[in-house]
Amino acid sequence: MPRYLVIHHAPGVTPEDFQRSVPAVLEGKFASFVQCYANMVDGVIVNLYDGESEQAVARELERIGSRSTRSRSCSSPRRRPTSPG
């Protein structure tokens, strides 16, 4: 499944605002949340989602009431571990 990088610009977001959004984000009806990186000082939140398409991720963001500035596919083939020697 493709992975998408979503960048949010949310100046003024507080830790409390961020925490309140967690249950809806984890529910994942149209795309699956993977990871979040947040810079509360600058109001930048970067999320990784797995989804069937960019449209599915957009539907998920709309469902949770979030607007992204950018959403990009960042999928790459998974590397298989190699055995030593």
What is the SS3 string spanning 17-46? Answer: HHHHHHHHHHHCCCCEEEEEEEECCCCEEE
Task: Kindly report, residue by residue over 26-77, the tens digit of the pLDDT.
Answer: 999 999 999 999 998 998 999 999 999 999 999 999 998 886 566 667 765 4
Nearest to 71 by CA among 81, 80, 60, 79: 60
Strand partners, 36: 47
Question: Would you place residue 12 in the very low, low, confident or very high pLDDT band (cuts 50, 70, 90)?
Answer: confident
pLDDT at 73: 75
Hey, which residues does 41 pair with through a beta bridge?
Answer: none
